[in-house]
Amino acid sequence: MDFKIEVNNRMIEAGEGEMLLGVLQRNGFRIPTLCHMNRFSPTGACRLCVVEVEGKSDLITSCSCPVKEGMRVKTNSRRVIHARKSLVELLLSNHPDDCLYCQRNGDCELQWLAGELNVRERRYFGEKNKFFPDYSSSSVARDPAKCVLCSRCVRICEEVQLVTAIDFISRGNKTKVNSAFGQGLNVSSCIHCGQCIQVCPTAALLDISHLEKVQAALASDKKRVLFFISPSVIASVAERLDMRPKDNILNQLVSALKRCGADKVFDLGFANDINIMEDAGRLVQILKGGIKGEFPLISSCCPSWVRYAQEFRPRTLNLLSLSKSPQQVMGTVLKTTYAEQTGTDTEDIYTVAVMPCVAKKYEASLEKNTHKGISEVDSVLTVRELLRMLRSYGLNLSQMDEEEIDTPYDVSSSAAWKLGYSGGKAEAVAREVFNMTTTGKKEGFRFNLPKNQSVRRETKLSIGKSQIGFAWVSSIAEAEKYLQELEEEGRDDIHYIEIMACLGGCAGGGGQPISRGFENARARKRFCVEMEKLSPVKLPSENPVLKPVMGDSGFDPGNSEAREWLINRFIKKQG
Ligand code: SF4
Ligand code: SF4
Ligand code: FES
C-alpha cells in the first residue's frame, strides 16, 4: 500500500489510483450503494455512497473519488446519514407499495436500504410511477415502475453482452429504462441472458415465470410430469441451503419433487454426456477430413451466444456445432424414445427442465424445438423458481429423505458436471477427442485448466505429433474480442472454442439465485469440481445409459446428420 488515510478517526492503508469506496469496503466500512458494480467504471448516479471529506463543502460520492494521501473521511456523520436516508425516502416516494407480494420481497436492495437507514414512515409523496410492465419476451419480464434508475442493467447489457437491448429514454422525472422505440423486449436485440435480472437491485427485472404452468400440470390427472435437473442446479441449491457435495442433494431434490407431484425426475447430465460426445465426435471427423467443416468448431449449447451469433455475427453461424443443446436433447428423448418405451401418448407427457439459465426458456419456446404444436420442453424452471416452488409446497430440502433418480436416465459421467462452468466443456470435449483418437492405453491426457477462473483461456492438447487448440471464453464482450483477434491475426491453431454468454459460464447464469458479485459463481464451480471427483463414471463414452438411447446402430458421435433429432440448424435470427 502507498499511504494512509484517516477514516472515522482510524488510520487505514490505501493505494495510489484506488477509489475511496473500494478502500473503505476493504477495511470493513459498510457503505450503502445502488449504482456501483465491481469492475465497472463509476457513474455516480445514486449518490448513496456519499461521505464527508475534510476540506470539501459538499458530500462526496466515494465510488468515484480517488484516494489522496492525508485524506480525512467521515462515513457516518449525522449529515451523511441524513443525506442517504433522504435519498432512499425519495426513491420510495414513487415506488409501488406492493412489497408484501413482490417477488423480490426479502431479496430487494431498496428494502434493505430502507431498513438499514431506519426509514419507518413515508415523508415524501411523489406521483406513483405509471409505467406499463413488459411481458413480451419469452425469458425476461420488465416492470419499469419498480426501477430505481441505477443503470446496472443498462451497463451489463452494453458492456458485458454488447447488446444494448435496453437503455435510458426521456429526461427528468420521465426517465426510464426501456427497449428500443419503447417496443417489447421480444422485438429487441435481447439475447435472453438474464444478466440484467442478476444485477437489478429491485423487482424491475424478473424472469418470465413458468411456475404456474408447472403447478397446473402437476395438479392435472392426465399429465405425466417429467422433470430433469441440470447438474449445475445442484451446486446452486446446495449453496442456498448450506449443504456440501457429499450431502446427496440430488436424491433429496428427487424426493421433494415427487412430493410436489412429479411422476419422474431424471438427470440432465445424461444429455450433457450426449452433447459432449457429439461435439467431440464432430471435431474428430473434421480433423480427419471425414466431414466437411471449418475450424474452429464452436460450441452451441448456450442459447444466448447462439442468439448473439444469429443477430450480430451471421458469418460465424457455419462454425457452430450442430449438436442440439442438452435441454433439447432431453426433451426430445422424453417425448419420443421414452414415450414409445412406456406406451405414453406424447401429448400426455409434460417435460420440465430445471436450469441455471433464463435463456433456456427462450430456447424451449423456439418454433424449431416444437413439432406439430408439441414442445420438446414444456417449461423451464430457473433455480430461483425451483426454490420458490419448494417453499410454496412447504418443503424443506434438508429434511427430505432420499430417493433415487429415476431410470432409465439416471447416470451421468463426471464430465457432465463440467458443463456447469466456463472451460469445463472445452476440457470434457478435449478428453473425449483424446479418447477417440488414441489407441491402446488412454493415458497421458493433459489439459491445463487455470487455477483461477478467467473469462478467456487457451490450451493445446497433444495427441501423438499433433497439437489441437482449445479455447474457452465467457461473456459476449470477451467472445467478440477473441473471435475478432483470431480473424485479424489469421490464426488457424485453435480448433474448438467453448463460448458461454454468462461470466463464468452457467455457474454465473441468469437463472441462478440473485448473486452480488462473482464469488458465488466461483463457489459453484468449486462445488461442481468436487462432484466430478465423486462420480464413478469418468467419461461420457463410458456412460452405460447412452447406447440404448442412441439406437441399435450404436453410438456414432459427431455423425449427427444420421440422427436428425440431435441436429440443430442455425439460421439468421429466430424468435
Ligand atoms: S437479458 Fe441480457 S441481452 Fe436481454 S436485456 Fe437483459 S442483459 Fe440485455
Ligand atoms: S431496471 Fe433494475 S437494474 Fe435497471 S436501472 Fe432499473 S433498478 Fe437499476
Ligand atoms: S454507488 Fe456511488 S453514486 Fe451510486
Residue 437, domain member (yes or no): yes
90 assigned to some structural domain: no
Distances (CA, A) of 15 to 20, 41, 60, 276: 10, 18, 19, 46
Q: Is the CB of 199 under 6 A from ligand 2?
A: yes
Among 35, 52, 76, the domain boundary falls at 76
Who's near 61: CB < 8 A, 6+ residues apart?
42, 44, 47, 49, 50
189 and 67 within one domain? no
165 Cα–ligand 1 center, Å:
6
- State the amino acid at position 534 in one-letter form: L
Position 573 scores a pLDDT of 47
Place of cell 425476461: 140
**Residue 352 beta carbon below 6 angstroms from any ligand 3 atom:** no
- Do residues 279 and 195 share a domain? no
The reply to whether 29 and 176 lie within a common domain is no
The residue among 184, 211, 238 that closes a domain is 211
- What grid cell was written down for 518? 462473482
Q: Are residues 197 and 297 in the same domain?
A: no
> Do both 383 and 522 map to the same domain?
yes
Look up the CATH number of the domain holding residue 159.
3.30.70.20
Residue 272 and residue 197 share a domain: no
324, burial (CB in 10 Å: exposed 0-12, middle 13-18, buried 19+): buried
Counting ligands in written order, the one closest to the CA of 48 is: 3
The answer as to whether 552 is a domain residue is yes
pLDDT score, position 574 = 43
- Does the residue 40 lie in any domain? yes
In terms of domains, do 198 and 183 share one? yes
Alpha-carbon distance of 65 to 67, in angstroms, equals 6
Q: Say yes or no: 381 and 440 in one domain.
A: yes
Measured between its terminal Cα atoms, the distance across the chain in Å is 52
Tell whether 122 is covered by a domain: no
The answer to whether the CB of 163 is under 6 A from ligand 1 is yes
CATH of the domain at 327: 3.40.50.1780
**Domain region containing 71:** 3-76
Question: What separation in Å is there between the alpha carbon of 204 and the centre of ligand 2?
Answer: 6
222 shares a domain with 180: no
Q: Residue 287: beta bridge partners? A: none
Query: Is any ligand 2 atom within 6 A of the Cβ of residue 149?
Result: yes
User: Which CATH number do you get for residue 22?
Assistant: 3.10.20.740
The number of residues making up the chain comes to 575
What single DSSP character describes residue 520?
H
Ligand 3 center from residue 15 Cα (angstroms): 20
With a 6 Å cutoff on the Cβ, whether 157 touches ligand 1 is yes
Residues of the chain with pLDDT under 70: 129, 290-292, 440-442, 449-455, 551-565, 568-575
Helix-strand-coil split of the chain, %, nearest 5: 40, 15, 45
Q: What is the pLDDT of residue 433?
A: 93
pLDDT score of 247 = 80
List own/partner pairs for 399-402 with CB under 8 A and 24 or more apart: 400/252, 400/253, 400/255, 400/256, 400/259, 401/252, 401/255, 402/248, 402/251, 402/252, 402/254, 402/255
431 with 353, same domain: the answer is: yes
Residues 185 and 230 in one domain: no
Residue where a domain stops, chosen among 52, 76, 100: 76
Strand, helix or coil for residue 404:
coil
| Count of structural domains within the chain | 3
| 43 in a structural domain | yes
Q: Is residue 91 part of a domain?
A: no
Q: Is residue 359 in a domain?
A: yes
List b or e across 511-527, with b for residues whose CB sees 16 or more CB atoms inside 10 angstroms.
bbbebeeeebbbebbeb
| Nearest ligand, measured from the Cα of 177 | 2
- Quick one: 174 and 282 in the same domain? no
Centre of ligand 1 to C-alpha 189, Å, is 8
